[in-house]
Structure 1
C-alpha cells in the first residue's frame, strides 16, 4: 500500500520503505516511521514522533510530540525476537509517552484498545493488555504483563506492578503503587494502594442505575467481612446483578497475584 494518495507527509519526516500510511493520515515535521509500521486512516503524528517496530495504529488516533511507540522492551531477557504492538482507534497519546512491543516469553504482543487517553509521560511496558476507554494520567507507569480492563483510570505518578490485573471501571488515585489485583469498580489510593471502596463517580458517569450501584455496594460490604478468604466470600455471593457477577468472575479467575481486599466495614 505504501503512502496513501490523500496522506500528508511533511518533507522533514522520515518514512522508511515498507511503511503503510493510511488515507488522510498526517505525518508531521521530524517524525520517524519505521518499515513495519501500519498507520490507519486519518492517524495524526503531530511532530517529532517515533513509531517503529511491528506496530499497528488504528484510525483517527492522534499522537503528540516526542512520543515513542514500538521500541524494544526494557526487559533484559528480550533477545531480539519478533514481537508486536497494536494500538486501536481514536486514541489520544500525549507528549513523551512510551509504549513498547511484547516479548517472546510474554506472548509477543502489547495491545492498547480504542478511545484511550494516555497523558504526557506515561509508560506502557511489554506484553500489557489495555482495554477501551482507559485513562492513564501524567507519568503513570504500567509494568510488564499488566492487564487493564475497560474504563479504568490510573492517576498521575502512579505505578502498577508487573502481572497485576485491574478490573473494569476501577479507579487508581494519584501517587499510588498497586502491587495486587484490583476488583472491577474498585477505588484504590494511598502510597501503598488500599482498596477503599467503589468508584461511585465512575459508575454514575457511565449511567449505571441506582439499583445496580446498590447491588454492588451490598456485594462490597459482604466482601469486606465474614468467614473465609476473599475469593471464598466472592464465590458465596448470590446475585442476579450483572455487575456483581462480573466482580465474582474477576475475583475467582486465575491470577498470578494476590488481591487488594476491602478493609473491614468499608463500602
Structure 2
C-alpha cells in the first residue's frame, strides 16, 4: 500500500495492501479501496464507495456515496480474467453509479475519458469506451462494448444497446431505447429511438459556424432522400462536402460497426 503523505484517509476507510493513493487525495468514511486500485492526485472519494479491480482513477475526479467502481463485468462469459477500468480526470461520478472492468473478449478494458458527469444510478458496462465531456443522466444504462464519443448527452432513464456507437456531439432524449448507431451531432428520441434531426442547441453552444450547421442539415436531408443506399449516399457526401463537421459524420458512417444506423425519419 502506498498512501501519499498529503492524502487524507478517514479512519473507518479500508485501503487494501497494494493500493496507491496520490497526493492530495481524500478517502472518506467507510470506503473500500482494493489492492489494484490507483487513485491519482486530488481525487475525492466521499463516503461508502467501493473501488475494486484493476482500476485507475484520474486526477481531480469526485466520486459520491454508494458508487461501485471497478467490480467484475455483468457478463456470463467472464471467468475471472484480470481486466481493467481506466477513468480519466475531473469526472463527477454521482451516487449509486456502477462502472465495470472489461472482458478479455472485448479488449480487456473499459475506458472513461475526462470531464464527464455521470448522474445518480447510471451504469457503464464492460468494454465501453466513453469520450470526454460526456453526460449520462440519472438511471441510464450503457451496455457492453458501446462507444460514446466526446460531448454526447444521454438523457435520463435511457438504454443504449450493446455494441452501439454514438457519434460526437449527439444527444439522446430521455426514456429512449437506442438499438443502432447514432451519427455525430444527431438528435435521437422516442421509446424505440429514431433520428429526429440535429442537436442544434449543442452545436450553437459550442460555437459551430452557421455554415457548418447548414451543411449538416443538408447532409441529413441527403442521407434521408438521396439516391442509392444509406452508405452510398454517405460516401457521396464525403466526396462533395467542404465542411469538416460533415466529413466527421461521413467518417463515422463509413467506419467499422456491428450495428446498423438510426436514419432520418
- Tell me the TM-score range normalised by the shorter chain: over 0.9
Distance, in Å, in 2 between the alignment partners of 1:31 and 1:75 is: 25
Map 1:217-232 to 2 at 5 A.
217-232=217-232
For residues 15 and 133 of structure 2, the distance between their equivalents in structure 1, rounded to whole angstroms, comes to 30
What's the CA shift for 1:215? 1.1
1:257 maps to which residue? Answer: 259
1:78 counterpart SS class: coil
Which residue in 1 is equivalent to 2:248? 246
Q: Look up the SS of the partner of 1:70 in the other structure.
A: strand
SS in 2 for 1:96: coil
| Residues in 2 aligned to 1:88 and 1:254: alpha-carbon distance in whole angstroms | 25
The Cα of 1:230 is off from its aligned counterpart by: 1.0
Moved over 4 A (4+): none
Deviates more, 1:210-219 or 1:124-133: 210-219
Work out the CA distance in 2 between the residues paired with 1:225 and 1:25: 54
| RMSD (Å) for aligned C-alpha atoms | 0.7
Cα displacement (A) at 1:147: 0.3
TM-score for both structures, normalised by structure 1: 0.98
Q: What does residue 125 of structure 1 align with?
A: 125
1:69-218 correspondence to structure 2 within 5 Å: 69-218=69-218
Deviation of 1:212 after TM superposition, in Å, equals 1.3
In structure 2, stretches of 5+ residues that fail to align are: none
- Counterparts of 2:7 and 2:138 in 1: how far apart (Å)? 30
Q: Distance in 1 between matches of 2:232 and 2:178?
A: 23
Distance 2:159 2:93 in 1: 18
Looking at structure 2, the residues matched to 61 and 229 of structure 1 have their Cα atoms a distance apart, in angstroms, of 44
In 2, Cα distance between the equivalents of 1:77 and 1:219? 41
- Distance (Å, rounded) in 2 between the aligned partners of 1:96 and 1:58: 19
1:247 shift after superposition: 0.2
Deviation at 1:221, TM superposition (A): 1.2
User: Hey, what's the Cα distance between the residues in 2 that align with 1:225 and 1:180?
Assistant: 19
Please list every run of 5 or more consecutive structure 1 residues that lacks an aligned counterpart in the other structure: none
Q: Give the drift of 1:227.
A: 1.5
Q: Which residue does the alignment assign to 1:45?
A: 45
